[in-house]
């Protein structure tokens, strides 16, 4: 076989899945803090939606609500991006080793996307349940009414928004990790 015929071959999907889970397990405390940040942002988003639909508004205008929700989601996005960048920085040698073993840039991106997907689903679902549940209780105490279907819709939208936002936050760190030359990554000390 000629050197020009050699190319990187990606391991199966389950290898990327297991690597993403292992990365979360190894960095569990920081990943829990990241997931908590996602949960808080989505809880705020869902609580504002619940207040809007339950009819128990606190006197704020829709523009103020949108501004508050948008700001909280952007802060959540920045926190997730920072956490993923730290994960890339900590794993320079691991990334270099994987690339030297033949994994392509696509495999590296897949691992980081799966990691962010797991964090996003866990944090978003938790935040959506907590935010909607608490505000539904507050709304019912103030005389508002929220149907089960509306609450389920708010939870679903909140979980989707959080998951998509978390995966979007992983784009830049995943590309940075994939573009890293294998030899340079192995030489680097962090």
pLDDT at 152 over 90: yes
pLDDT interval class at 60 (50, 70, 90) = low
pLDDT at 2 over 80: no
Residues 8-32 pLDDT 10s: 677 888 989 999 999 899 889 988 9
Residue-averaged pLDDT of the chain: 86
Residues 89-146 pLDDT 10s: 888 888 888 888 888 888 999 999 999 999 999 999 999 999 999 988 887 887 777 8
Assign 3-class secondary structure to the chain.
CCHHHCCCCCCCHHHHHHHHHHHHHHCHHHHHHHHHHHHHHHHHHHHHHHHHHHCCCCCCCHHHHHHHHHHHHHHHHHHHHHHHHHHHHHCHHHHHHHHHCCCCHHHHHHHHHHHHHHHHHHHHHHHHHHHHHHHHHHHHHCCCCCCHHHHHHHHHHHHHHHHHHHHHHCHHHHHHHHHCCHHHHHHCCC
pLDDT at 190 over 60: no
pLDDT interval class at 177 (50, 70, 90) = confident
Domain boundaries, the chain: 27-53+60-187
Residues contacting residue 138 through CB under 8 Å, at least 6 positions apart: 51, 56
pLDDT at 56 over 60: no
Distance CA 63, CA 132 (A): 20
Q: What is the pLDDT of residue 162?
A: 94
């Amino acid at each position: 076989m000629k050197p020009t015929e050699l190319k990187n071959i990606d391991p199966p999907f389950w290898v990327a899945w297991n690597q993403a889970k292992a990365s979360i397990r190894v960095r569990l405390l920081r990943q829990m803090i990241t997931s908590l940040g996602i949960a808080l942002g989505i809880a705020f988003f869902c609580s504002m939606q619940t207040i809007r639909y339950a009819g128990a508004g606190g006197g704020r205008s829709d523009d103020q609500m949108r501004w508050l929700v948008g700001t909280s989601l952007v802060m959540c996005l920045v926190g997730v991006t920072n956490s993923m960048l730290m994960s890339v920085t900590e794993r320079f040698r691991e990334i270099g080793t994987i690339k030297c073993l033949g994994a392509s840039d696509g495999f590296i991106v897949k691992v980081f996307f799966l990691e962010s997907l797991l964090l996003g689903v866990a944090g978003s679902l938790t935040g959506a349940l907590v935010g909607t549940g608490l505000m539904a209780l507050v709304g019912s105490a103030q005389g508002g009414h929220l149907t089960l279907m509306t609450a389920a819709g708010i939870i679903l939208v909140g979980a989707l928004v959080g998951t998509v936002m978390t995966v979007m936050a992983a784009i830049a760190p995943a590309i940075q990790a994939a573009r890293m030359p294998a030899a340079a990554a192995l030489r680097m000390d962090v």
